[in-house]
Amino acid sequence: MDIKQKLDELVENLGNVGIVPVIKLDRVENAEKLAKALREGGINCAEVTFRAKGADEVIRRMVRAFPDMLVGAGTVLSAEQADAAYKAGAKFCVAPGLNPKVVKHCLDKGIPFAPGVSSASEIEQAMELGLDFVKFFPAEQAGGLPYIKAVCAPYSQMRFMPTGGVSEDNLNTYLSYNKIVCCGGSWIVPSKLLESGDWAGITKLCRTAVDKMLGFEMVHVGLNCADADEAEAVADEFNAAFGFEKKVGNSSVFSHTYMEMMKKPFHGTHGHIAIATNSVKRALYQLEKRGYKVMEGSQKYNADGVMNVAYLDHEFGGFAVHLVLKK
């Protein structure tokens, strides 16, 4: 696999995770416990910064304990640090700034690298080095999402990982823009919890962040009817009882937006439950980790190539689950 393929694979994997914990771990012996806490919270990824001594050993222990974990090295400021990280098993390297010598060294050795940028000039330097994915740092202080949107007009091929000032409060604002691959942040691995060894607390913060990122909300319930006549009859009954307006479509009849009567049996023994999410793709990634797989062939995409519909290959009380992208 050449470096371009490695970089594309990295972007794909980081995009699925959505959140990259930025970690400064001073106690190497806690590496495995921290990795386990992150994974149990739904984040199978970590950026271990070289701001702490022994960062390469932390990476080595995490990768050894969980080979499938996407562990990278952060604050990589020299070729020597990059080599140490890669030797330890890091799958990528990140830096707060753009040092052309370090970037070139990594790319020549086949190490995926995301340098930090905060200006148009630095973006052009990254492009000159053959990169189309960079860290935007410090994100909030450098102009946040409005700045990223502005520079994406002339640099439409660039993709970003904002880090610095990203929190649970603005995470979805960033991720809502299609040029944002993922966001880095330390709010889910606060130093206080790391120092006290509160792994359950870190798992809880991770799960809360993942749940907020996905933003699951129930939209409607679909009922399987024998035919179109039954679908309309059920809709008429909902209208008579509750005043829900009937809307007849090609394959179903809606009562307001709450109930959908299928004109013939579809997915699910009894019907389906539609659940909206901020990202169908990320939702499927997380749900698969929880033991729920996608129904192959059920995925649909919008005009921008973004997955906006998918069914799970599982029934909940006789109902299929229909994931839809929030509008």
By annotation, the residues acting in catalysis are 47, 135
Alpha-carbon distance 278 to 255, whole Å? Answer: 25
Torsion (CA) 294, 295, 296, 299 in degrees, nearest 10: -80
Alpha-carbon distance 39 to 41, whole Å? Answer: 5
Environment class of 127 (CB within 10 Å of its CB; exposed 0-12, middle 13-18, buried 19+): middle
Query: Which phi-psi region, left, alpha or beta, contains residue 52 (left: φ > 0; alpha: ψ -120 to 50)?
Result: beta
List b or e across 282-314, with b for residues whose CB sees 16 or more CB atoms inside 10 angstroms: bbbbbbeeeeeebeeeebeeeeeeebbebbbee
What Cα–Cα distance (Å) separates residue 182 from each residue in 167, 294, 307?
A: 12, 22, 17
Q: Which residue has the tokens 């995301």?
A: 114
Q: Which of 265, 264, 283 is nearest to 323 (CA)?
A: 283
Where does the chain have alpha helices with state H?
3-17, 31-40, 55-65, 79-88, 100-108, 120-128, 144-152, 171-175, 191-196, 199-214, 228-242, 280-289
For every residue of 214-229, DSSP letters joined together read: H--EEEEEEEE-SSHH
| Rg of the chain over all Cα atoms, to the nearest angstrom | 23
